[in-house]
Structure 1
Amino acid sequence: MKNVDYIIVGDGYAGLFFAHQLVKHQKSFVIFSESKKSASQVSAGVINPVILKKFTTFWKAQEQIDFLKKTLLEIESYIGQNYLLDAPIHRIFHDENEQRLWLKKSENSDLSNFLNRKIEQIEGVKNDYNTGKVNYSARLEVNGFFKGLLSFFETRDQLVNEKFDYSQLNTSKSSYKDFSFHNIVFCEGMGVKENPYFSDIAVVPNKGHHIKVEISESIPENITIKKKHFLFPTHDGLYFYGGTYDREQLHHFVDDSAVEQLINGLSEFYPYDFDVKEVNFGFRPTVKDRRPIIGKHFNYDNIYVFNGLGARGILNGCYFSKSLYDFIENKIPLDKEVSLERFK
């Protein structure tokens, strides 16, 4: 029997950022990782303090971005690479009214840091009404982040590549198969619906598609372009464009109408030929009040959940991993806005 401080179930942003807290505090752990890609692993990786439909910001935006930068530097200290890309978002304005609204909102105290007042024209795409740059926006190199961290944990025998079998969890002995543990944290995204301990938590699937395209005429590579969706280059020479939001069509295969929506959206501002080379989708675990769900099981003292990160998985996963660690190890209460207790 191998004794560990923690078992983490799930290898998305919640699981890996929590694992980083354990590395930092020298706790022993294993991560149970299924072979299929999580919604996190097919996400865009866009780090954005502004809701670009309405030009508003959200709860703890600046604190979350600052904490992410600090955390990625800590991860760099043992992985040897920083996966934060300086690729700010440039939002293409649909019309003059949007440009005026941007400038007006940029005078608000909560948005003045984020909405750059310098209106810019960018080459290679159709932006008749120019673009606004989002300060403090960036991108995570998603493929590298997951490969780098998962390989690091694998070399240290901290990665178990198999689906977690709930029937093998012995709650009275705090054991699972060949492991005994002090705490177990479930970070499963929509997989939580199969989890007998937390299947009733209030997460709702939101299906997101993205396409990868080969473009015929070059565009700036050091920025992230946004109109309806995000466009940016990927590590494999293609361009990512996405993603959609769908709470209705929740089947486990590609939805042609979502692909059509993406092709039309890209054609609006990229006036040249492009070829769709790949289509991916995932299910984001969203919560009605747009707050993560973090907490301890109501009947078991060492079983925890970290879920509901929604479309801001990177920021929520990173920032609240510390809240969960402090809650378990230092008995610091969770913020009521993210605590599982709010649904009791």
Structure 2
Amino acid sequence: MKNIDYIIVGDGYAALFFAHQLLKHNKSFVLFSEGRKSASQVSAGIINPVVLKKFTTFWKAQEQIDFLKDTLVEIESYTGKNYLIDLPIHRIFHDENEQNLWLKKSKSDELSSFLDENFDHLEGVKNDFNTGKVNQSARLQVSGFFNDLFVFLEKNEFLVKEKFDYEKLDTSADSYKDLQFKNMIFCEGMGVKENPFFSDIAVIPNKGHHIKVKLSEAIPKDITIKKKHFLFPTDNGLHFYGGTYDREQLHHHVDESAVEQLVNGLSEIYPNDFDVEEVNFGFRPTVKDRRPIIGRHESFKNLYVFNGLGARGILNGCYFSKSLYQFIEENIPLHEEVSIARFK
């Protein structure tokens, strides 16, 4: 039997940011990953403090942005790379009303540090009413982040590349196969529905598609463009465009209607020819109140869940990994807005 402090089940943002907390505090652990691409791993990696439909912000936005930047510097200390792509979002305005609303909101205390008062006109895309820049917005270099962290975890014997088997978990002995553990964290996204301990948590699948396209004419490289969806360059000369939101079509294959929606959306802002080279989709675990679900099992006191990160997986996963760690190790109560207890 090998004694360890933690077992983590999952391989998205929740799992990896929690693994970082354990590395930071010198805890022993293993992370179980079955090697399929999670919703996190096909995500756009957008880091954005503003809801770009209504020009509002959200709970703890500034704290989450600041904490993420600090955490990525800490992760750089062992991977050798910082995965923050410090390029802002430019939101294309639909009309003058949106311009005026943006200007009004940019003068409010809540949004003045996020909404730039100066408008820009972009070359190569349709933006008749100009664009507004979201200050402090950025992107995560998603593939590098996951690849490098998995390489690091494997090299240091923290990674177990296999599907977790719930039937092999002995809750009376706190053991799983040949591992004796103190705490177990389930960070499975929509996979939680197969988990006999937490299958009833209130996560709702939200299917998202994105496309990767080859553009025939250049557009600005140093920004992320947003109207209906996000458009930005990827490492291999293609552009990412996405993603959609769908709570109805939940089958495990590509939805042609979603692809059509993306092609039409891109055509609205990009006046030249483009080819769709790739289509990806994933299932975001969302929650009605748009807050993560974090907490301890009612009966098995060393089993925990960290889920429901939704479309803000990077910010939520990073920020609340510390809250979960402090809850377990320091007995600091979880904020009631994210605690699983709010559903009781």
Distance 2:185 2:35 in 1: 19
Corresponding residue for residue 264 of structure 1: 264
**Shift, 1:32, TM fit:** 0.3
**Shift, 1:222, TM fit:** 1.2
Say whether 1:25 aligns with 2:25: yes
**Percent identity between the aligned chains?**
76
Corresponding residue for residue 173 of structure 2: 173
What per-residue deviation string (whole Å, max 9, x for no partner) do you get for residues 3-31 of structure 1? 11000000100000000000000001100
Say whether 1:38 aligns with 2:17: no
Secondary structure of 1:69's partner? helix
Say whether 1:72 aligns with 2:72: yes
**Shift, 1:236, TM fit:** 1.9
Secondary structure of 2:31's partner? strand
Q: What stretches of structure 1 of length at least 5 have no aligned partner?
A: none
Corresponding residue for residue 6 of structure 2: 6
Distance 2:272 2:234 in 1: 19
What per-residue deviation string (whole Å, max 9, x for no partner) do you get for residues 90-138 of structure 1? 0000111111111111111101110000000011111110000000100
Corresponding residue for residue 286 of structure 1: 286
Corresponding residue for residue 235 of structure 1: 235
Corresponding residue for residue 89 of structure 2: 89
Distance 2:325 2:175 in 1: 20
Once superposed, which parts of structure 1, at least 4 consecutive aligned residues long, lie more than 3 Å away? Answer: none
Distance 2:11 2:150 in 1: 8
Secondary structure of 1:53's partner? coil
Distance 1:3 1:230 in 2: 45
**Shift, 1:235, TM fit:** 1.6
What per-residue deviation string (whole Å, max 9, x for no partner) do you get for residues 204-231 of structure 1? 0000000000111111111100000000
Corresponding residue for residue 308 of structure 2: 308
Secondary structure of 2:325's partner? helix
Task: Give the length in aligned residue pairs.
Answer: 344
Distance 2:22 2:113 in 1: 33
- 1:214-233 maps to which residues of 2 (within 5 A)? 214-233=214-233
The amino acid that maps onto 2:103 is L
- 1:104-119 maps to which residues of 2 (within 5 A)? 104-119=104-119
Corresponding residue for residue 155 of structure 1: 155
Distance 1:247 1:69 in 2: 32
What per-residue deviation string (whole Å, max 9, x for no partner) do you get for residues 169-220 of structure 1? 0001111111110000000000000000000000000000000001111111
Distance 1:294 1:109 in 2: 30
Greater mean deviation of Cα atoms: 197-206 or 216-225: 216-225
Secondary structure of 1:57's partner? coil
Q: What stretches of structure 2 of length at least 5 have no aligned partner?
A: none
**Shift, 1:64, TM fit:** 0.2
Cα RMSD after superposing both structures: 0.6
Distance 2:207 2:41 in 1: 14
- 1:207-218 maps to which residues of 2 (within 5 A)? 207-218=207-218
Secondary structure of 2:237's partner? coil
